[in-house]
A and B are shown apart, each in its own frame.
Chain A
Amino acid sequence: MSKIPTTLFDKVWDSHVVRKIEDGPDVFFIDRHFIHEVTSPVAFLGLENRGLKVMFPEKTFATADHNTPTINQHLPVQDPLSANQLKALETNSAKYGISHWGLGNPKNGIVHVVGPENGITLPGMTIVCGDSHTSTHGAFGAIAFGIGTSEVEMVLSSQCIMQPKPKKMRINVNGKLGKGVMPKDVVLYIISQLTAAGATGYFVEFAGEVFRNMSMEGRMTVCNMSIEMGARGGMIAPDETTFDYIKGRDKAPKGEAWDKALAYWKTLKTDEGAQFDIEYNYNAADIEPMITYGTNPGMGMGITKHIPVAAETGGSKASYEKSLQYMGFHEEEEMLGKKVDYVFIGSCTNGRIEDFRAFASIVKGRKKADHVTAWIVPGSHIVEQQIKEEGILDILTEAGFQLRQPGCSACLAMNDDKIPAGKYAVSTSNRNFEGRQGPGSRTMLASPLVAAAAAVTGVVTDPRVLLAD
């Protein structure tokens, strides 16, 4: 009897179901749980109120990132509320025996950067965190998604959550990417095609030549933003690129354990003929460097194009107009040449070493535009270290940029890194919602290359004209 062809997603999901509830969710087992200072304190309070313990403290990892300052991290945190959350994370972790990488710890950084970089994230795992961009870890062939605080409490107390199984979507992108087109552009392109809600209710597998040829950093960028099309998460089948990335990392399996794990990981792919609920195909040649013009990540376009008119977008006209009005843009306008006040490179979307290499490739030998304020924020201390060792810091300094310390920073602007009201930012983060980067801030999402081009010219610029051949 031949086996029924199965998707990667089904293989991982089904092997983690502890119990199926009839006309209800699955009781779903969680292999790795990340926590940070913002969404965990209330969950710990809940545990205390119910008199519960943490069931498997060794499966949970804590890092401080959302609220942390990106300069002078050696000094006490100024904002008393932020300091209070950081303290709570530290105390709760100590109390329940959870490993904690607080401010100043050499392993500290953004949760979705430090997990993979320390070998905590592995293929075939189920991973959750109280942050929607947990989908990042799907780049390793894991099922990873964001959860709410009640669910954080469930994982702490029982290592399980209650989840209805999502439907399955596959997105294939084949062909070769053009010059200056980065993984960020690929995902912004897909979201612009599917809209910000186009994948709601689905779990996405990204497949095809473009992802096979992509680095782990790039795959993380893509999976990171799967939530921005409404998907529960996104994943990519692990392959040699994945195994090479993991091998030798701090918490990765070693010796015999490695061989055993590797044999299992090699089975983690979608079988030929396996069925998806829906499938989309795109051509790499159609993708150019992207930029967003509106207030949700689905409102993106090729950087040389004109802002669409409401009727072309299919959504409600009133919502569309409200969005453009907030941005101070008009239908049919060009984005090229628009003035940029701030540039932010960082976040769990584009805060890895490759992103800074790309940024430096354009900045090298040029100068920061005088009127631009640039925040250059590595995703972790390890990335910060790499930036220094590879000579990127010298290039940045030469061009008039300053490197900050790791954290979420202007991605959600909970700390002091806020874009002022009315100002325009080209940002490599993941959300351009109203006020996301500070009350009244106007965000244009883009790749590190587009960010670099804006940082040196002071206006929205096609990075391809600045790239050496």
Chain B
Amino acid sequence: MPIENVDTDQIIPARFLKATERKGFGDNLFRDWRYNADDTPKQDFVLNNPIYSGKILVGGKNFGSGSSREHAAWAIYDYGFRCVVSSFFADIFKNNSLNIGILPVTVSAGFLDKIFTAIEADPNTELEVNLPEQKITILATGESESFDINSYKKHNLTNGFDDIDYLQAMKSDIQSFAAKSLY
């Protein structure tokens, strides 16, 4: 999806945020880009093209900008993606993704171009994302680049452990901190 500034209103439009449970958001992922007003699929949209498949979503620069809705990450996850690649992510989207088990991979602008060129040449191009080695590879050409992730988050993602577990384990520290707080 070589589009820049993909905002979370496109990923999941506001009218689909009315659920009180985290279920079924994948159906409405990119709703207005994927479907016409009469709910028929738009043939030219990438997710409607059976040639493309997989668990890695590649997007243009400034992916996930705008609203803080975690529903955007839920929709991407629920649709079946586990990794999003872009040359630049909006902060909140990146946090939200990590918090629910999607890996945001930031690559250089040059490498992103290479990925898009490879996909354009062959829609079946495979990408490999290796979290332990922090490396992303275009399998057809063997070109690769390493990516950053802090060791705390990496540990969480690898062990299925999350921030809430971590915070629960340090509650007495938080209690004494709160006792000194001005507010």
Answer whether A296 and B5 are a contact pair too, CB < 8 Å, given A146-B92, A230-B62, A439-B37: yes
Closest to B162 in A: A150
Chain B interface residue count, CB cutoff 8 Å, equals 56
Give 1 or 0 for each of B100-121: 1 = CB within 8 Å of chain A CB.
1000000000000000000000
Give the shortest distance, in Å, between B137 (CB) and chain A (any CB): 24
CB–CB A434/B10 < 8 A: yes
* A319: contacting residue among B17, B60, B70, CB under 8 A: B60
Shortest distance from the beta carbon of B52 to any chain A beta carbon, whole Å: 18
**Could you say which residues of chain B place their CB within 8 Å of the CB of A32?**
183
Q: Is B99 an interface residue (CB 8 A)?
A: yes
Contact B32 A196, beta carbon cutoff 8 Å: no
Tell yes or no: B13 within 8 A of A by CB.
yes
| Given A150-B70, A200-B91, A316-B60, A25 and B167 contact (CB-CB distance below 8 Å) | no
A24 B3 Cβ-Cβ under 8 A: no
Q: Is A334 an interface residue (CB 8 A)?
A: no
For window 73-92 of B, CB contacts with A under 8 Å fall at 73, 88, 90-92
- Looking at the complex, which one of A42, A55, A122 makes contact with B21 (CB distance below 8 Å)? A42
B144 at the binding interface (Cβ < 8 Å)? no
Query: Could you tell me the distance in whole angstroms from the C-beta of B31 to the nearest C-beta in chain A?
Result: 9
Please report the C-alpha to C-alpha distance between residue A66 and residue B14 in the assembled complex, in whole angstroms. Answer: 10
A124 to B88, CA, bound (A): 31
Q: Is B164 within 8 A of A45, CB to CB?
A: no
CA distance A417 to B4 in the complex (A): 28
B contact residues around A19 at 8 Å (CB): 170, 173
Contact flag A131-B37 (CB < 8 Å), given A230-B90, A413-B14 = no
- B51 lies within 8 A of chain A by Cβ: no
**A162 lies within 8 A of B163 (CB):** yes
Chain A residues whose CB sits within 8 angstroms of the CB of B92 once the complex forms: 132, 145-148
Contact B13 A435 (CB under 8 A): yes
Instruction: Indicate whether A264 reaches chain B with its CB closer than 8 angstroms.
Output: yes
Which of A77-85, A275-283, A344-352, A360-368 interfaces with chain B?
A77-85
Does B41 make an interface contact (CB < 8 A)? no
B125 within 8 A of A: no
**A18-B173, A18-B177 known; A230 vs B91 contact (CB < 8 Å):** yes
Q: Tell me whether B146 is interfacial, beta carbon within 8 Å.
A: no
Task: Please measure, in the bound complex, the distance between the C-alpha atom of A412 and the C-alpha atom of B69, giving whole angstroms.
Answer: 12
Chain A contacts of B183 at CB under 8 A?
A: 31-32, 59, 122, 125
Most chain A C-beta atoms within 10 Å of own C-beta, residue among B4, B20, B99: B20
From B19, B60, B66, B164, A433 is in contact (CB under 8 Å) with B66
The segment from A95-103, A152-160, A168-176, A205-213 found at the interface with B is A152-160
Other than A24-B152, A148-B96, give 7 A-B pairs with Cβ distance below 8 A: A23-B150, A24-B150, A38-B18, A39-B70, A421-B37, A435-B13, A436-B9
Give A residues with C-beta under 8 Å from B: 18-19, 21-25, 27, 29, 31-32, 38-39, 41-42, 45-46, 50, 52, 55-56, 59, 66-67, 79, 81-82, 84-85, 88, 122, 124-125, 130-132, 145-151, 153-154, 157-162, 164, 166, 196-197, 200-201, 230, 232, 261, 264, 296, 315-316, 318-319, 322, 412-414, 421, 431, 433-436, 439-440
Task: Give 30 pairs: A residue, B residue, CB < 8 Å, sorted on A.
Answer: A24-B151, A25-B152, A27-B170, A29-B181, A39-B70, A42-B20, A46-B164, A50-B164, A52-B168, A82-B18, A85-B20, A124-B182, A146-B92, A148-B68, A150-B70, A150-B96, A157-B168, A158-B174, A159-B174, A197-B62, A230-B91, A232-B91, A412-B67, A414-B18, A431-B7, A431-B67, A434-B32, A435-B10, A439-B15, A440-B32
Binding site for A on B (CB under 8 A): 2-5, 7, 9-10, 13-15, 17-22, 32, 37, 60-62, 65-71, 73, 88, 90-92, 95-96, 99-100, 150-153, 162-164, 166-168, 170-171, 173-174, 177-178, 181-183
